[in-house]
Structure 1
Amino acid sequence: MVIGKPLFNKSGPPEFVFRVFTNVLEFQALLFILFLLLYLMILCGNTAIIWVVCTHSSLRTPMYFFLGSLSFVEICYITDVVPLMLSNIFGAQKPISLADCGTQMFFFSVFGCTDCFLLTVMAYDRYVAICHPLHYTQIMTQKLCVQMVLGSLSLALLLSLQLATFTFTLPFCRHRLEINHFLCDVAPIMRLACADIYVNQAVLYVVSILVLTVPFLLIFISYVFIASTILRMHSAEGRQRAFSTCSSHLIVVLLQYGCCSLVYLRPRSSTSDDEDRQIALVYTFGTPLLNPLIYTLRNKDVKDALSHCVF
C-alpha cells in the first residue's frame, strides 16, 4: 500500500466519470425507464415488508424482525446506487468528486456487507427454530435479535472503513478518470491508481473472504443440521412448512453470495471489468427486488398480512 497523501496533478483533486452503457439515445432512454421502474418496485416491495412486519402483531417474531431489517438495508443499499446511476445514464459524463465517490463506496460496502451478515443471522434463527424449537423463545430473545442486527451493522462499518481508507490513500495522477462501472466500487477505483496495488488487492480479497466465504460456510453448516432435523420429522406437514421457510432464505442466499463471489473472489486474470459490471447489475437490482417477492409468494403469514392490508 502507498503511504501518505494521494498525489494529484496540477489540475486539482481527481474527479471520476462513469462509463456509459450505450451512446444510442433510444437505448439510454429505455435503460433509464427500466432502472427507474426496478428501483420503484424495490422501494415499494421492501417498504411493504417493513410496514406489515411493524403493524401486524402476528409477525412480531425474530424471523420477521430480521426480514424487516433486511428490507430496510436493501432500501438503503439500492438508494445509495440508483439515483446517481440514473443521473449519469445519458452520456453527459457528469464528474463525481473524490469525496462523493468515497462516500458512495463506503455506504455501498456498509449496506452490502450488512446484507450478507443478516442472511447469516437469519440462517441461525432458522437453525434454532427447527433444531431447538422448545428453547426457541428462550434463545432468540428480543435483546439478542437487536444485538445481532447491530453487530452485523457494526462489523460492516468496520470492514467498509478499512476498504475505503486503503483505497483512497492510493495516488491518482490524472485529474479526470473514467470508471468502467455504474458506481464507485472498490476494485474499479483501485485499478485507476498510478501505483502498485498488490497490498490493496490482498486486503480486498481478505475482506471478501470475511464477508462472503465465512458467512456462507456458517449458513451451510446451519443448513446441514436443519436438513438432518427436517428429515427426521414424522409429520409431513411439519416437513413441508420447515422446507418452505428455509427454501425462501436459501434462494436469496444463493443469488446474493453467488453473484458477489463471481465479482470479488474470482482471480483478476479470469475476469474483465465489463463482466464485473454486468454481474454487479444482477446483485444490485436482483436481490433487493427478489427478496420481498420470494418471501411474500412463499410465506403464508406475510401473504395473509398483506391481503388484510389491501382488503
Structure 2
Amino acid sequence: MTKILMDMDPGIDDAAALSVALNHPDLDIKLVTTVAGNVTVDKTTINALKIINFFNQGDQVRVAAGAVQPLIKPFEDAARIHGESGMRGYDFTGSLPDPLEETAVEAMHRVIMASDEPITLVPTGSYTNVALLFSQYPEVKTKIEKIVAMGGTLGRGNMTSAAEFNVFTDPHAAQVMYQAGVPIVMVGLDVTHKALLTNETLQEIEGMNPAGKMLHDIISSDGDKNENGVAMHDVNTIFYLLHPEFMTTKDYWIDVQTEGPANGETVADIRGAYHDGKTNAQVCVDIDAQAFNDWFKEQVQAMKM
C-alpha cells in the first residue's frame, strides 16, 4: 500500500482525484492539505471536507488548511471554471468535520516525520505549501519517496500560451519544488489534455451509484467541458501512481520562469545542454486515453458510501 499526502485546491478535478484515492485499497491517505488556487483556501478546505464526508471518512482522513496566497505573485483564482464555490453542480448535505488546528505545513511535517516509511506527495494545486514545507523543514526531504505533481506543460499552457494554471498560480513555489532534489513526476497538460473523460464515460457513471451521480454532476459543471469531454487533470496523478505503464515519460531538467510574459512556464532542457546532462523530473508526455477512461469507470463502480 502506497502512503500518500494529498495537497490540493478543490476544484472539480481535485475532488474527483480525492474521491478515487479515498476509495482505492492500494492507497493510504495520511493527510489532505489545502491551498489557495482554484478558489480561496477557505473554500478549498470546505470542498475537501465535503468529499471526505461524502464517503464517511472524516474520522480517518484529516484536513489541514494551508497557504492563503502565493509566495510572491498576486493571487488569481479559477472560479470562472469551477464556480464561485469551487465545486458547483452538486448539493452536499450533512455537517462537516472540522479541519485540524495545525497549519498545512505543520501537519505535513508532523505526518511525514512520524511515518515509518517514505511518503509520496501528490500536489494537485499550486505548490505553495510544498515550497514552505521544504523551506521551513528541509529534513522532510529524505522521508519523501517522490512527488507526483499535476502541473506544467512542455507545450501550450492553459493560463497563458506558455503557462499551466498550477505553476502560473505560484511560479516561485514551483521553482523551489523543482530545485529541492526530491524525485518528481510531472503530470502536466501534455497528458491531461489527451486523456479527456468522454461524454460517454460521464453518462455511464451517472447511473452507477451515488458517488457516480455526484461526480457526474460536478464534472458536468466544469467550465472547460466541450463536445469531446472534459480534462480531469488532477485524476491523472492517481492514475499514474496506480498504473504508470499507461503513461510514457521522459527525463528532463525542468526550470520554471518567474517573471515576464513567460511567467509560470516550465522549460525542459530537451537537449541536455544546460545542466551537464542532469535531470530533475520524469515528465509524462503520452497516455493511453482509453485505458484512463476504462479505469475511471472501474473506480467509480467500486466506490462505496
The structure with the greater share of residues assigned to strand is: 2
The structure with the greater share of residues assigned to helix is: 1
TM range (shorter): under 0.3
Q: Which has the larger radius of gyration?
A: 1
Q: TM-score, normalising length from structure 2? A: 0.27
